[in-house]
């Protein structure tokens, strides 16, 4: 039986991406830690900026990663509003993995390369 959220608990639209990350991890403590990390990582993003250039105008790989992250946030927001059922669980897990991989791994590597 999939985990059920009481009907009176509806997160605001701007926290749906974090709610999708919370639901994508089966362990309760792991889900709460991932939810906290997903919000706190947004504050750490400026510290992960390793490029010498400040603008993304001349960095096409960084532009691609930025728009990939934006699309991923839209997918996570959409998944957070969906019920906990089979196709949405897998999509949420993949999108959560992509979210953390993009910010923690791909952004610093791309900044160092460019």
At 58-96, the pLDDT tens digits run 788 989 999 999 999 999 999 999 988 889 999 999 999
Q: What is the pTM of this model?
A: 0.85
Residue 113 pLDDT more than 80? yes
Out of 25-29, 51-55, 96-100, pick the least confident: 51-55
Q: What is the pLDDT of residue 2?
A: 59
Predicted confidence (pLDDT) per residue in 15-37, tens digit: 999 999 999 998 999 999 999 99
Name 93's Cβ contacts closer than 8 Å, sequence gap at least 6. 24
CA 114/CA 86 separation, integer angstroms: 40
Give the number of C-alpha atoms closer than 13 A to the C-alpha of residue 63, restricted to the C-beta side: 6
Residues 6+ apart with CB under 8 A from 110: 51, 59, 61, 62, 65
Q: Can you give the pLDDT at residue 85? A: 86
Average pLDDT of the residues in 101-108: 92
CA dist list (Å): 108 to 11, 52, 90, 111: 31, 12, 27, 5
Q: What angle do CA 11, 96, 100 make, to 5 degrees?
A: 115
């Amino acid at each position: 039986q999939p985990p059920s959220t009481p009907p009176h608990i509806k997160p605001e639209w701007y926290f749906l991406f974090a709610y999708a990350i919370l639901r994508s991890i089966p362990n309760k403590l792991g889900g709460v830690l991932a939810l906290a990390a997903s919000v706190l990582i947004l504050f750490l993003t400026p510290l992960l900026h390793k490029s010498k250039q400040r603008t993304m105008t001349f960095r096409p790989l960084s532009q691609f990663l930025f728009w990939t992250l934006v699309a991923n946030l839209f997918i996570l927001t959409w998944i957070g509003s969906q019920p906990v059922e089979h196709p949405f669980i897998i999509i949420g897990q993949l999108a959560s993995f992509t979210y953390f991989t993009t910010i923690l791994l791909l952004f610093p590597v791309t900044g160092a390369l460019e």
